[in-house]
Structure formats: structure tokens, C-alpha cells
């Protein structure tokens, strides 16, 4: 019902979404019949929040060693995603003792080469993924060596970073950025390397690749506040104390209705922090050359932008204060002029006074009603000579 409501609210998005769905359906028919690939793509749809559809619209598999790199493979990105999702499942399982969890995180990059390795953790679909991880390992071992090494490197660095934060709280904004770098920024770096290895894209600067991951991760952390704070047996939160302590004494206090105003203020602070990465994200996407890779990157990013546009919710309440600064609008215009004017055209009354400042904005809105002295020569139809 939510999806139908979203489509009705943005009917112009329907056709592109339909084309993407049809492309993914076509890709499904090209999935190899081997059990390990069937399992991998099946699990992708079950454990992916944002990426299953956009991964499958990438180019068909390129596992034939006789073929050179010419496009990024859906198979490569599918396995890359599942390996990191499995690693994330270990980190997220709060029932696992830290003394057991930390060594697994640190050594996870070695387990992906072991067809027999599995580890019981997680719930529902994530438990199935971990119980039958040998299918993912088998598929991983069929990828080209260059892809294997890139995935191993990112998995090793991410596992080490996750292990660090098992015993370390997110106190400062710098801690927050570091944690998000380990769990998402490294994904951006890894994908950029895979795109470059395929021969279709330039090698983007690490800072831009990192921002692509950080924006997605920070949006998810913000959006999942209520779910995470109520997690059983215990919650693990990644909101930096440096931000939330300005508004409440304990992070859990934000979920109570009595603190609605403070919750929205804190939420605005968190969203502002996430939007720092928007400029890099737009620049990154504008420089992509392969249409399939562009869709793969742009669709999840746009969903996150839409999440920030939605009414903020932190304790069940909503707030309509979505004011954006003139500086932010100016930067949006510089990076994506088409998006800027689309936003301005759809919300003239709301945004024009801010874009041009209140003094200039009102005359701009009423420009057509302002009398100006006559200038030039006017000839009516009646005075037209044959």
C-alpha cells in the first residue's frame, strides 16, 4: 500500500520504475542454474533493503575466464553484497559474546575462501544466509581473481573496523564518521574499484567514494532509531553522543512523546550531518559513464534523499519543519542544476523567498503585477497594413 501511495504521489516516477523492474526480470532469466548461484540471487532479494533490484539490472555474469573485463557484472556485485551482508549479520547479532564475535569479524575475509565454513547467527533470512554461507563462498571462488582480491581487501578492512567498535562507543562526530566509513564508506571504495576494474569507469577519489557510502549509512542510522533503540536483548546505537547530548541526558529519552520538540531538533542536527555528503554523491554520479552503473548508484541515493524529504519521525510524531538553508540550495544548484530548478518549480511559494532572500523574493513573485514605464513601439492588429 505504501508503494502504491508513493507512485500516486509521484506519477512521473512510474515509467522509469517499470522499466527497471522489467530489466531486472530479464536479468533473472540469465541467472545460472547452478545451486550456489540460485541461492545467492534468492538471498539477495530476501536480505537486501535497497540493492536487489538495481544489482540485477547490471550486466550479465562475466565469469568466463576467456572474456576480458568490459562491464561490471551483476554476479560480482551480488556476491560482494552478500559477503558484506553476512559480515554485518555477525556484527549486528547482539546475542553473540564479544570474545567470540571479534575474532570472527577479524578473520572473516579468510572464511570467504572456505567452501565449508558457516556460522550460526542472525534471525530469519539472515540465519539462512549464515547457515548456508558455503553457497556464497562457492560462487565467490568462481569470480575472476582481481574481483576476489578487491572483495577480500574490503572485507578485511571492514571486519577490523567493526571489531574496533564492538568495544568502543560512538562518542564524537569523528567516531561516527569513522564507524560509518568502516561499515559503508569501504563499500563505496570497493565498488569504485570494481567499476574501475571493469574498464567502464574512472577510479574516483577515495573521499567521493567514501561519501557515497556514508550518506546511505547515516540515513539508515537516522531512520532506524526507534527499531534499534528497542532492540532485544540489548540495543546498539550509533548516534554520536556529541550530537544527542545537546538535547537529552540519555539517547532513549528521544523516543518519548514529552521530548518531541527536542527529538526533532536532534533529528535536524543528525540530518544536517548526513547532508554534508550530498555534494560528493552528486558529483560522483554525474561523472559515471555506464548507464547501468549510474542506475545502480543513483536509485539507492535518491531513495535516501527522499527519506530526508519525508516527514521526520523519531517517536511516532511528525514535524513539518523541513526548512533548507540558502547555502544548501546554492550548492544543490551548482551540483545538479536540473534537480534544483525542478525543486524550485514544484515549490515556488515556499522556496523562492529563500532562494532570493525575503527582500528580493516577494518582488520576484509579484513581478508580473509591477507597473513599468512603457518602452518601444506598440502596433495593434487593427493598425497592421496589408
pLDDT digits (tens, 9 = 90+) for 301-350: 877 777 666 545 565 554 444 444 444 444 444 445 555 556 556 665 55
Dihedral sign (CA 321, 325, 331, 337): positive
Distance CA 368, CA 366 (A): 6
The pLDDT, as a whole number, for residue 16 is 61
Instruction: Classify residue 269: in a domain, yes or no.
Output: no
The pLDDT, as a whole number, for residue 67 is 37
In order of 88, 151, 163, the CA distances from 173 in angstroms are 22, 28, 19
Range of the domain at 147: 19-168
User: How many structural domains does the chain have?
Assistant: 1
Instruction: Classify residue 111: in a domain, yes or no.
Output: yes
The pLDDT, as a whole number, for residue 234 is 72
Catalytic residue annotation: 179, 223, 236, 296
Residue 236 burial (10 A CB sphere; 0-12, 13-18, 19+): middle
Instruction: Classify residue 53: in a domain, yes or no.
Output: yes
How big is the chain by its Cα radius of gyration, in Å? 25
Distance CA 170, CA 323 (A): 28
Instruction: Classify residue 113: in a domain, yes or no.
Output: yes
Q: How far apart are the first and last CA of the chain?
A: 64
Distance CA 264, CA 75 (A): 41
Instruction: Classify residue 366: in a domain, yes or no.
Output: no
Instruction: Classify residue 85: in a domain, yes or no.
Output: yes
Check if the beta carbon of residue 130 is closer than 8 Å to that of residue 91: no
pLDDT digits (tens, 9 = 90+) for 111-160: 999 999 999 999 999 999 999 999 999 999 999 888 899 899 999 999 99
Backbone phi and psi for residue 75, each to the nearest 5 degrees, phi listed first: -60, -45
What CATH number has the domain bearing residue 140?
Answer: 1.10.600.10
**CA-angle at 364, arms to 358 and 369, nearest 5°:** 125
Instruction: Classify residue 162: in a domain, yes or no.
Output: yes
For the chain, residues with pLDDT lower than 70 are 1-32, 49-50, 52-53, 56-57, 59-72, 233, 307-386
Instruction: Classify residue 94: in a domain, yes or no.
Output: yes
Q: Which three cell numbers stand for residue 376?
A: 518601444
- 266, 268, 273, 275: CA torsion to nearest 10: 160
Q: Which three cell numbers stand for residue 299?
A: 536509485
Amino acid at each position: 500500500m505504501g508503494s502504491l501511495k508513493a507512485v500516486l504521489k509521484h506519477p512521473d516516477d512510474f515509467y522509469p520504475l517499470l522499466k527497471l523492474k522489467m530489466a531486472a526480470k530479464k536479468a533473472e532469466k540469465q541467472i545460472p542454474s547452478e545451486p550456489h548461484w540460485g541461492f545467492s540471487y534468492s538471498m539477495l532479494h530476501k536480505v537486501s533493503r535497497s540493492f536487489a533490484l538495481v544489482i540485477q539490472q547490471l550486466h550479465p555474469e562475466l565469469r568466463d575466464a576467456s572474456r576480458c573485463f568490459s562491464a561490471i557484472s551483476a554476479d560480482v556485485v551480488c556476491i560482494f553484497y552478500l559477503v558484506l551482508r553476512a559480515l554485518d549479520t555477525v556484527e549486528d547479532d547482539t546475542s553473540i559474546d564479544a570474545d567470540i564475535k571479534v575474532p570472527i569479524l577479524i578473520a572473516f575475509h579468510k572464511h570467504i575462501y572456505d567452501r565449508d565454513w558457516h556460522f550460526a547467527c542472525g534471525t530469519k533470512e539472515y540465519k539462512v544466509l549464515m547457515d548456508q554461507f558455503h553457497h556464497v563462498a562457492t560462487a565467490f571462488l568462481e569470480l575472476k581473481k582481481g574481483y576476489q582480491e578487491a572483495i577480500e581487501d574490503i572485507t578485511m578492512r571492514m571486519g577490523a573496523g567493526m571489531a574496533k567498535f564492538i568495544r568502543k562507543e560512538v562518542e564524537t562526530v569523528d567516531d561516527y564518521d569513522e564507524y560509518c566509513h568502516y561499515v559503508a564508506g569501504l563499500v563505496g571504495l570497493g565498488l569504485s574499484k570494481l567499476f574501475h576494474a571493469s574498464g567502464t569507469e574512472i577510479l574516483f577519489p577515495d573521499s567521493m567514494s567514501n561519501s557515497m557510502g556514508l550518506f546511505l549509512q547515516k540515513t539508515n542510522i537516522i531512520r532506524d532509531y526507534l527499531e534499534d533503540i528497542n532492540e532485544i536483548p540489548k540495543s546498539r546505537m550509533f548516534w554520536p553522543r556529541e550530537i544527542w547530548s545537546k538535547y537529552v541526558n540519555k539517547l532513549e529519552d528521544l523516543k518519548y512523546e514529552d521530548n518531541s520538540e527536542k527529538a526533532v531538533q536532534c533529528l535536524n542536527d543528525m540530518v544536517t550531518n548526513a547532508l554534508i555528503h550530498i555534494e560528493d554523491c552528486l558529483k560522483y554520479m554525474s561523472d559515471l559513464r555506464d548507464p547501468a552503473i549510474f542506475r545502480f548508484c543513483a536509485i539507492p541515493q535518491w531513495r535516501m534523499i527522499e527519506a530526508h524529504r519525508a516527514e521526520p519521525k523519531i517517536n511516532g510524531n511528525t514535524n513539518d519543519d523541513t526548512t533548507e538553508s540558502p547555502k544548501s540550495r546554492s550548492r544543490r544548484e551548482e551540483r545538479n542544476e536540473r534537480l534544483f530548478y525542478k525543486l524550485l518549480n514544484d515549490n515556488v511559494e515556499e522556496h523562492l523567498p529563500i532562494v532570493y532572500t525575503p527582500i528580493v523574493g516577494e518582488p520576484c513573485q509579484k513581478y508580473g503585477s509591477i507597473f513599468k514605464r512603457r518602452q518601444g513601439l506598440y502596433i495593434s492588429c487593427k493598425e497592421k497594413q496589408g
